[in-house]
Amino acid sequence: MPLLSSRGGIQEETRITLALLWVWALFNYVYGDVLQIFAIFMQPGLQAQLESGNFGGIPLTDTTTLVTAAVMELSLAMVFLSWKLPYRANRITNIAIGSLFTLIMGLILFGPGRVPPFSGYTLYGLIEMGITIAIVTTAWKWRVVRDRQEIH
């Protein structure tokens, strides 16, 4: 990725690219979860797990729901933060949160006690991982030039 001007141009383009990548990830999270809900109700064993209060080895409690909601709120906030945070904070935040979401989806798809994969959910999950890896890569390579000095 080229060195970037601090006055608009590619600098703004990178911010918009990161925000749009988060929007794309969010749509995949929503569609993947909706597909998963339909799959649960189509398979009696999974529905029984859900009704027992334990799904994919994870107890379904108020705390679990709160933590899940807080994590998903991070991805929602990243749309705005990618657009508005100053360069250094923006870059660090996108690398950190993008890495976190890549790790979470990796554990959901491939970790112990994982939710049984459905071809559609697995596809969405792999796309989500690709998007969050693209977010991390874009932020990692993002550089700004001010007065001919590169900022790291």
Residue 79 lies in a domain: yes
Residue 79's domain spans which residues? 4-52+61-147
Considering only residues 88 and 145, tell me which one the structure prediction assigns the higher pLDDT. Answer: 88
pTM for the whole thing?
A: 0.82
- What pLDDT does residue 145 have? 66
Residue 152 located in a structural domain: no
Mean pLDDT value of segment 102-124: 81
The overall average pLDDT reported for the chain is 85
Share of the chain above pLDDT 90, in %: 53
For every residue of the chain, DSSP letters joined together read ---EESSSTHHHHHHHHHHHHHHHHHHHHHHHHHHHHHHHHHSHHHHHHHHHTEETTEE--HHHHHHHHHHHHHHHHHHHHHHHS-HHHHHHHHHHHHHHHHHHHHHHHHSTTPPPP-HHHHHHHHHHHHHHHHHHHHHHH--EEETTEEE-
- Check residue 3 and give its pLDDT: 42
Q: Looking at the domain assignment, is residue 137 inside a domain? A: yes
Q: Tell me if 37 is assigned to some domain.
A: yes
Name the domain count of the chain. 1
What pLDDT score was predicted for residue 10? 64
Would 71 be classed as within a structural domain? yes
